Chain A
Amino acid sequence: MSGDRSRLARLLIAALIVITATMFCASIVTGAADASLSNVMRGILGLDDMEQVLSVRDRIIILDIRLPRAVLGLLVGASLAVSGVVMQGLFRNPLADPGLVGVSSGASLGAVLMIVLGSSVFGPLFAVFGFYTLPVAAFLGGLGTTLLLYRIATRSGQTSVATMLLAGIALGALAGAVTGVLIFIADDKQLRDLTFWGLGSLAGANWTKVMAAGPIILFSLAVVPFLARGLNALTLGEAAAFHMGIPVQRLKNIAIVSVAAATGASVAVSGGIGFVGIVVPHVLRLLIGPDHRYLLPASALLGGTLLIFADMIARTIVPPAELPIGIITAFAGAPFFLWILLRGRTQMGL
Chain B
Amino acid sequence: MISASNLSVRLSDKPVLHSVSLEARAGELTAIVGPNGSGKTTTLKALAGETTYSGTVRINGHDIAALKPWELALKRAVLPQSTIISFPFTVREIVRMGLSISGGVGTAQTDRITQEALDAVDLAGFAGRFYQELSGGEQQRVQMARVLCQIWEPIKNGEPSFLLLDEPVSSLDIRHQLTIMRLARDFCKRGGGVIAIMHDLNLTAMFADRMIMLKAGQIRASGTPREVMTDDIMESVFGCCMRVNIVPHGSIPFVLPHTAVH
Residues on A facing B (Cβ under 8 Å): 1-5, 92-94, 156-157, 229, 232-233, 235-237, 239-240, 242-248, 285-286, 289-291, 344, 346-350
Is the CB–CB distance between B111 and A1 below 8 Å? yes
When each residue 86-125 of chain B gets 1 if its CB lies under 8 Å from chain A and 0 otherwise, what string results?
1111111110011011000000000100110000000000
- A263–B50 Cα gap in the complex (Å)? 32
B63 within 8 A of partner (CB): no
Is the CB–CB distance between B127 and A2 below 8 Å? yes
- A93–B85 Cα gap in the complex (Å)? 9
The DSSP consensus for interface residues of chain A is: loop
Chain B contacts of A93 at CB under 8 A? 86
Which single residue of chain B is at the shortest CB-CB distance from A158? B51
B157 within 8 A of partner (CB): no
CB distance from B36 to the nearest CB of A (A): 20
Which single residue of chain B is at the shortest CB-CB distance from A250? B69
Contact partner of B87 (CB less than 8 A), chosen from A2, A233, A246, A349, is A349
Chain A contacts of B52 at CB under 8 A? 156-157
Chain A contacts of B130 at CB under 8 A? 347
- A92–B87 Cα gap in the complex (Å)? 8
- A157–B51 Cα gap in the complex (Å)? 10
Count of B residues near A, CB < 8 Å? Answer: 41
B24 within 8 A of partner (CB): no
Is the CB–CB distance between B133 and A2 below 8 Å? no
Is the CB–CB distance between B87 and A285 below 8 Å? yes
When each residue 59-93 of chain B gets 1 if its CB lies under 8 Å from chain A and 0 otherwise, what string results?
00000000011111110011010011111111111
Contact partner of B97 (CB less than 8 A), chosen from A157, A232, A347, is A232
A242-B50, A244-B101, A245-B70 known; A5-B132 Cβ under 8 A: no
Is the CB–CB distance between B127 and A285 below 8 Å? no
Across chains A and B, which 7 residue pairs bring their CB atoms closest together, nearest first? A245-B73, A2-B128, A3-B92, A3-B90, A290-B87, A245-B70, A3-B128
B150 within 8 A of partner (CB): yes
When each residue 21-57 of chain B gets 1 if its CB lies under 8 Å from chain A and 0 otherwise, what string results?
0000000000000000000000001001110100000
Contact partner of A349 (CB less than 8 A), chosen from B85, B98, B114, is B85
Residues on B facing A (Cβ under 8 Å): 45, 48-50, 52, 68-74, 77-78, 80, 83-94, 97-98, 100-101, 111, 114-115, 127-130, 132-133, 150
Is the CB–CB distance between B78 and A243 below 8 Å? yes
Is the CB–CB distance between B48 and A243 below 8 Å? yes
- A237–B85 Cα gap in the complex (Å)? 8
Is the CB–CB distance between A348 and B88 below 8 Å? yes
CB distance from B154 to the nearest CB of A (A): 18
A-B CB contact pairs (8 Å), 28 listed: A2-B127, A5-B90, A5-B93, A92-B86, A232-B97, A232-B100, A235-B86, A235-B87, A236-B83, A236-B94, A236-B97, A239-B78, A240-B83, A242-B50, A243-B48, A243-B77, A244-B77, A244-B98, A244-B101, A245-B73, A245-B101, A246-B69, A285-B88, A289-B89, A290-B87, A291-B93, A347-B88, A349-B84
Chain B contacts of A235 at CB under 8 A? 85-87, 89
Chain A contacts of B101 at CB under 8 A? 244-245
- A2–B133 Cα gap in the complex (Å)? 16
- A344–B100 Cα gap in the complex (Å)? 28
Contact partner of A286 (CB less than 8 A), chosen from B69, B88, B90, B150, is B88
- A157–B50 Cα gap in the complex (Å)? 11
Contact partner of B132 (CB less than 8 A), chosen from A285, A289, A347, is A347
Contact partner of B80 (CB less than 8 A), chosen from A3, A92, A229, A239, is A239
Contact partner of B69 (CB less than 8 A), chosen from A94, A242, A347, A349, is A242
- A94–B87 Cα gap in the complex (Å)? 7
- A327–B5 Cα gap in the complex (Å)? 63
- A244–B100 Cα gap in the complex (Å)? 9
Apart from the given pairs A239-B50, A240-B83, 14 other A-B contacts in the complex at a CB distance below 8 Å: A1-B92, A3-B129, A4-B93, A5-B90, A242-B49, A243-B78, A244-B100, A244-B101, A289-B88, A289-B89, A347-B88, A347-B132, A349-B85, A349-B132
CB distance from B76 to the nearest CB of A (A): 8
- A243–B80 Cα gap in the complex (Å)? 10
- A181–B192 Cα gap in the complex (Å)? 65
Chain B contacts of A291 at CB under 8 A? 89, 93
Chain B contacts of A245 at CB under 8 A? 69-74, 101
Chain A contacts of B92 at CB under 8 A? 1-4
A2-B127, A244-B150 known; A236-B85 Cβ under 8 A: yes
Greatest chain A CB density within 10 A among B71, B74, B85 is at B85
Which single residue of chain A is at the shortest CB-CB distance from B78? A243
Is the CB–CB distance between B88 and A247 below 8 Å? no
Chain A contacts of B128 at CB under 8 A? 2-3
CB distance from B120 to the nearest CB of A (A): 16
Contact partner of B127 (CB less than 8 A), chosen from A1, A290, A348, is A1
CB distance from B31 to the nearest CB of A (A): 20
- A93–B69 Cα gap in the complex (Å)? 24
Chain A contacts of B97 at CB under 8 A? 232-233, 236, 244
